[in-house]
Structure 1
Amino acid sequence: MSQSIHTETSLPIEREVQAAIQGQRALAAYLATRFETQRIQIFDERNEAHQIELPTSALRLLVDILAELADGNAVRVVPVHAELTTQEAADLLNVSRPHLVKLLEAGELPFHRTGKHRRVRFADLMHYKGERDRSSEQALAELARQAQELGMGYE
């Protein structure tokens, strides 16, 4: 049974940004390991230490989260199996919602309906995004190659 404790998404304040910068650096230094779990200490309100064993993969994810907070970005963790609204999916692709709907209706991205609403699986969205990004990189590389071939000053 999983339970989300913190669902609010907000930009970090300056104190959180600074803590994230320091925490990311410190934590990353200890994760170059082959151990599947790591023990960390956490302190409660009475300053009593409690040792917790966590998966190393979760701590690596925490480093990624801290990196985003250090850059001043809000962060939300989304399970891979999650289903997104069209607005959430559009936001993740950095496109408009109407453009995303066109992609869905054209069959470029799988979706299903929940009543009248379209839902997109996060895993499908990330697969589409990866393919789109690879295609863009290939097109850019081809343009650069052609520019060099034509002597357009990109040497």
Structure 2
Amino acid sequence: MTVFSPARQLPTAEEIALAKESSRALSVYLQTRAETQQIEILGDEGATKPVRVPVTALRMLVDILTEIGEGNSVSIIPIHAEFTTQEAADMLNVSRPFLVQLLERGEIPFHKVGAHRRVRYQDVVSYKEKIDAERSKALDALAKQAQELNMGYE
């Protein structure tokens, strides 16, 4: 399984073009009520091999290809994954000492493995969603106040 790594390389122009083409071609096969789809993989020797894929996995593959087609790097993280404090800090784009303060204040749950703190992926995502919502609410309040004070914002 791929592990979170913020230092991934961006896709090349060739990869972007191929991902765009592939996502369009595969997305046609998502319009089904079937639970699986069959795709064929072309081997080096020219023979094709049929592969049955759950539609949920095919949908995820299309999403991944779409992101790559937009020039983005992609990481796959299992929901039950646990992060080190550095990995969690990288995901939140904060320093490790600041993250440790959040953990110690109880803002993000954690547990220890020996002397090391571990943070569940889902807890990091929940915290991020919470602070993003708070930021959005604060920005809305500031925009409303600027409009009420006729500060030139429409």
TM-score bin, normalised by smaller chain: 0.7 to 0.9
Question: Relative to structure 1, is the Cα distance of residues 130 and 23 closer, same or farther in structure 2, using a 3 angstrom cutoff?
Answer: same
1:29-40 equivalences in 2 (<5 Å)? 29-40=28-39
Unaligned stretches of 5+ residues in structure 2? none
Which secondary structure does the structure 1 equivalent of 2:29 belong to?
A: coil
Question: Relative to structure 1, is the Cα distance of residues 147 and 24 closer, same or farther in structure 2, using a 3 angstrom cutoff?
Answer: same
* CA drift at 1:78: 1.0
Q: Distance in 1 between matches of 2:40 and 2:146?
A: 56
Which residue pairs with 1:134 in the alignment? Answer: 133
Which residue pairs with 1:151 in the alignment? Answer: 150
* CA drift at 1:42: 1.5
Q: Percent identity?
A: 52
Unaligned stretches of 5+ residues in structure 1? none
Q: Distance in 1 between matches of 2:30 and 2:24?
A: 11
Q: Distance in 2 between matches of 1:61 and 1:138?
A: 31
Counting matched residue pairs gives 151
**What TM-score results when the alignment is normalised by the length of structure 1?**
0.85
Which residue pairs with 2:101 in the alignment? Answer: 102
Question: Relative to structure 1, is the Cα distance of residues 33 and 150 closer, same or farther in structure 2, using a 3 angstrom cutoff?
Answer: farther
* CA drift at 1:12: 2.6
Range with bigger deviation, 90-99 or 113-122: 90-99
Q: Please say if 1:63 is aligned against 2:62.
A: yes
Deviations 1:45-67 (A, max 9, x none): 12222222212211221122223
Range with bigger deviation, 25-34 or 76-85: 25-34
CA-atom RMSD in angstroms: 2.0
